[in-house]
Structure formats: C-alpha cells, structure tokens
C-alpha cells in the first residue's frame, strides 16, 4: 500500500509539472532554438544520453532545435596522441595546417556522429553536417595569430531550415570553408552557434558550458544581464578567458536579431528543459535591454 501511495504521489507530481509547463510549451511551439553543446558532458555517455533525450523532447513538443557542438577535450586528446602541441590565444585555439586536419576529423567525424547517434537512440531523427556542407558557413581568417581559425562572413542556412521543417534535428560541426581557396577553417563552437542563430533569427541561443553562468566581481552568477552590462564586465576584466568568446558571441547574436542568449551549465540534468520550460530558468540570460515585465521566458 505504501508503495502504491508513493507511486501515486510521483504520478501526481509529474502531472502537475506537465500542467505548469503548458504556457512555456505553447510559448516555444514553432520557435527555433540553437543549442551549443560542449564541455566535459560530451565525454560522458549518461550525460550525452540525457542531453539527447532533452533535444528529442523539445522536437516532440514543437520546438525546432538546431545543435551546434564543440569537441575541445576530444581534439586535445588526439593532438596529444599525435604529439601536436596546442596553444590558446584569447580563448581560441591556435590552428596550423596539421591541427586543422585533426580538428575536422574529430569534429565532423567522431563527435558529430556520436551526437547524431545519441539523438537517434532516443527516438529522434538527426542528421549531422558541418559548416562546409552546402557552404553553410563561409569564413575568413579570424586573426593571423590564430592560423586556420575562421570568422564566419557568409551564412547559407536554408539547409538547416529544410531539415527542421522536415522534422529532422540538424547537428552541426563547427568547421567552415574559406572564401577564396576553399581552405578548411576551425571555427570556435560558440562563434559558430551564434552565427547560425543570428542567420536563423533564432528565438533562443543556449550556450551550454562547464560553468553555471556569467559571474560578477564577487564570483556570484548573474541570472540576468543586458548587453551593456556584459560589455562593462568585459572591460573590467571580470569576464575573462573562455567566457570572452561566449559573451562576445552573445552580443553579436543579439545584434543580429536573436531574442535572447543564455549561458548555462550543461552538466545540470535537463538543463535545456529547465531553461525553456520552467519559470525561473537556468544560468545567465542576456538580452539587448532589461525586460519591462517578468523576465522569463
């Protein structure tokens, strides 16, 4: 009897959660949400399965998710095995000819197909592509100091629209093609996700990472920021290291018409669902200006 009562309470709690989520489900029906998946969660099978289940659920309730992934730890691992040294400047990997070949192999091959398979295993329909497919992401060199690191200058996102309009979840590896000589460029995963979100005029850009969000001078996570507040924190040096490309991506995406950007901890179970379908959300939400009313969704 006690077991039956416990099961009944669990069922009631589940039903209540679904009922409370209804306004958010309605809010995001038909919305395009670009998710940058990266960090150490990618190397954990259980975390990967949880992420894939969340993406499939989003698609099931009418959201159009587009997944853009990184793969830094996997790239580091293979570079180490091959004896190729790797350096970073302002949070971006310095990429020579040998490194870009490894980057493309890991991102477009190993990592991309692993995510695709995880989504398919959860009952979704996923297709993996890179920024080179259909000239999705055409790049120029970002900085001579960085080598074959690309800056997207031309986005051709119709292929993504075709996929999600057909009920398929696109999974994009951040590798681009060059403007002039068709070189291969390594594109920072956050930068690629922001460029894709901007080109799609996405409702949300979710940047999943290994930290809980943007922190202020005291080290506390700031749950809501305006673009001007982000710029101020960058100027003060409070935002530094790998958080710089993330916040710069957020600012550029907002300028290009993305409604809001959220930097959140991808290690938290159901992180995407908590952000989209609950009242308080998760992580640091960045908008162009401060909201006049209730900030989320």
CATH of the domain at 277: 3.40.1160.10
Range of the domain at 88: 16-287
Cβ contacts of residue 291 below 8 Å, gap of 6+? 224
**What phi and psi, each to the nearest 5 degrees, are found at residue 36?**
-90, 115
Cα angle value 14/62/134 (rounded, 5°): 135
pLDDT of residue 85: 84
Instruction: Give the pLDDT means over successive 10-residue stretches in the chain (297 positions).
Output: 55 56 73 89 82 95 96 87 83 84 93 96 98 96 90 96 98 94 90 96 94 88 92 91 87 95 91 86 85 51
Q: Per the domain annotation, does 102 fall within a domain?
A: yes
Rounded CA-CA distance 229/225 in Å is: 6
Decide: helix, strand or coil at residue 185.
strand
Residue pointed to by tokens 């068709």? 182
pLDDT of residue 25: 67
pLDDT of residue 141: 93
Rounded CA-CA distance 189/172 in Å is: 10
Strand arrangement, sheet containing 184-186: 150-155, 137-141, 175-178, 184-186
Cβ contacts of residue 231 below 8 Å, gap of 6+? 251
The total domain count for the chain is 1
pLDDT of residue 62: 94
Q: Per the domain annotation, does 292 fall within a domain?
A: no
pLDDT, tens digit, 9 for 90 and up, residues 40-99: 667 778 889 999 999 999 999 999 999 999 888 888 889 889 988 878 877 677 888 899
pLDDT of residue 67: 98
Kindly report the pTM of this predicted structure.
0.88
pLDDT of residue 80: 87
Smallest Cα–Cα separation from 185: which of 108, 285, 277, 268? Answer: 108
pLDDT of residue 15: 55
Q: Per the domain annotation, does 296 fall within a domain?
A: no
Q: Per the domain annotation, does 178 fall within a domain?
A: yes
């Amino acid at each position: 009897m006690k077991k039956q009562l416990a099961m009944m309470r669990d069922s009631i709690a589940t039903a209540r959660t679904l009922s409370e989520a209804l306004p958010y489900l309605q809010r995001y029906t038909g919305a395009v949400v670009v998710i940058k998946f990266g960090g150490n969660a990618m190397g954990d099978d259980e975390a990967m399965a949880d992420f894939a289940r969340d993406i499939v659920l989003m698609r099931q309730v009418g959201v159009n998710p587009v997944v853009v992934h990184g793969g830094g730890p996997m790239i580091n691992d293979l570079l180490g095995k091959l004896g190729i040294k790797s350096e970073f400047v302002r949070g971006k990997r310095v990429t020579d000819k040998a490194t870009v070949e490894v980057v493309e192999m890991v991102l477009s091959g190993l990592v991309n197909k692993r995510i695709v398979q995880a989504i398919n295993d959860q009952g979704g329909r996923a297709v993996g592509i890179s920024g080179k497919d259909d000239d999705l992401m055409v790049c120029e060199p970002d900085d001579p100091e960085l080598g074959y690191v690309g800056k997207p200058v031309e986005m051709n996102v119709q292929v993504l629209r075709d996929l999600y309009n057909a009920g398929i979840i696109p999974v994009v590896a951040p590798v681009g093609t060059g403007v002039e000589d068709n070189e291969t460029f390594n594109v920072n995963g956050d930068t690629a996700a922001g460029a894709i979100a901007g080109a799609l005029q996405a409702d949300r850009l979710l940047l999943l990472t290994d930290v809980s969000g943007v922190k202020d001078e005291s080290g506390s996570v700031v749950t809501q920021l305006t673009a001007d507040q982000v710029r101020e924190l960058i100027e003060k040096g409070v935002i530094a290291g790998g958080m710089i490309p993330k916040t710069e991506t957020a600012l550029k995406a907002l300028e290009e018409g993305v409604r809001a950007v959220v930097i959140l901890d991808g290690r938290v179970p159901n992180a995407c669902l908590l952000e989209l379908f609950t009242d308080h959300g998760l992580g640091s939400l960045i908008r162009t200006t401060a909201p006049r009313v209730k900030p989320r969704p």
